[in-house]
Amino acid sequence: MKENLIEIYKKLKIPKESIYNFGETVLKIIIILIIMYLVVKIGNKIINKYVSKQKNFKISLDDKKAKTIGAILRSVLKYAVYFFGIFSIIAIISPKIGITGLTFAGIGGVAFGLGAQSIIKDIINGFFILFEDQFAVGDYINIDDKGGIVESIELRITKIRDFNGDLHIIPNSLITKITNHSKGNARIIIDTDIAYDENINRVMSIMSELCERFKNENSVIVEGPTVQGITSIKDDRVTIRIAGKTKTMTQWDMEMKLRKQIWEVLKQENIKIPYSSVKILKEE
């Protein structure tokens, strides 16, 4: 086998200098790739360390803002390293394959002209999102018809994960209409149907006592909850509304918890709720 390879090498008549140059080029490219990997990995660790420790500084950012700035810095680092790394590799390869500086500049100019417009729009809009504090990492937002929790804000893209677990990756230049559900406190509203023939004043009094206990037991409640009154009267039922405010991103848990306690107190106090019934009349 070894003799066959030597025979093939002699027939091809490859100069030793060419083999040396090829090996040198490959080695340089490998070194550049390793350096790129290490710079990104070490840089990300430094950024993450800074973000986690900034809480102890005299002038500190809130947690969401710090995470957002950390994501932007990691994105800038990644793109900068990739940019310089790719151009370094091209600079090594180009003399070997006969690409002149003028040819390379021409190809680069065409590529830049085709892709730069959308990239610049993405980057500019990304900085507006950051500095105008439109949303931050961890916020619950809607971008057009896509809704979910912001996982990352990068130089060109924003990533949000919906409640089904799907990850939506949106270019920053396409983000024009945003609904941020995490600004300020969240509202909780619970409507409870009571049987029409129940003593409504008694029911509302029991619910008011429950609301007071619920507020004392849950520190995330910032206002209420209180019994608002009757919102609907129908043939077989009366609807009573309870409303309050809670810290953002806790509203779903608080609604489910309060709804469960309402159900328990209704059963405990023997308060009837409406239910559908079917009467079958039998002809004699």
Q: pLDDT for 222-231, tens place per residue? A: 988 999 999 9
Domain assignment of residue 78, yes or no: yes
pTM score, whole prediction: 0.56
Give the three-state DSSP class for 210.
Answer: helix
Q: Does 154 fall in a domain?
A: no
- Going by pLDDT thresholds of 50, 70 and 90, the confidence category of residue 15 is low
Whether the pLDDT of residue 273 is over 80: the answer is yes
168-188: average pLDDT: 87
Domain final position from 99, 128, 157: 99
Last residue of a domain, one of 81, 99, 117: 99
- Residue 22 resides in a domain: yes
Model confidence at 14: pLDDT above 60: no
Total number of domains in the chain: 2
Question: Which DSSP helix (H) or strand (E) runs through 223?
Answer: strand 221-233
CATH code at position 22: 1.10.287
Peptide bond into 225 cis (omega under 30): yes
Predicted pLDDT of residue 112: 56
**In DSSP terms, which residues pair with 76 in a beta bridge?**
none
Does the pLDDT at position 4 exceed 60? Answer: no
Of the residues 45, 68, 99, the one at which a domain ends: 99
Average pLDDT, whole number, for the chain? 79
The answer to the question of residue 143 being in a domain is no
Question: Residue 247 belongs to a domain with what CATH number?
Answer: 3.30.70.100
Whether 165 is covered by a domain: the verdict is no
Q: What is the extent of the structural domain holding 209?
A: 186-268
Residues β-bridged to residue 180: 141
pLDDT attached to residue 238: 92
- The answer as to whether 76 is a domain residue is yes
> Is residue 11 included in any domain, yes or no?
yes
Give the pLDDT mean for 45-71.
69
Q: Dihedrals φ, ψ of 226, to 5°?
A: -135, 155
What pLDDT score does 6 carry? 53
The 10s digit of each residue's pLDDT in 81-131 is: 888 888 888 777 766 554 455 455 555 555 555 556 677 777 778 778 877
Q: How far apart are the C-alpha atoms of 224 and 188, rounded to whole Å?
A: 10
Q: Is 277 inside any structural domain?
A: no
Strand order in the sheet with 178-180: 167-171, 157-161, 146-153, 140-143, 178-180
Q: Work out the average pLDDT over 167-184.
A: 87
pLDDT higher for 170 or 183? 170
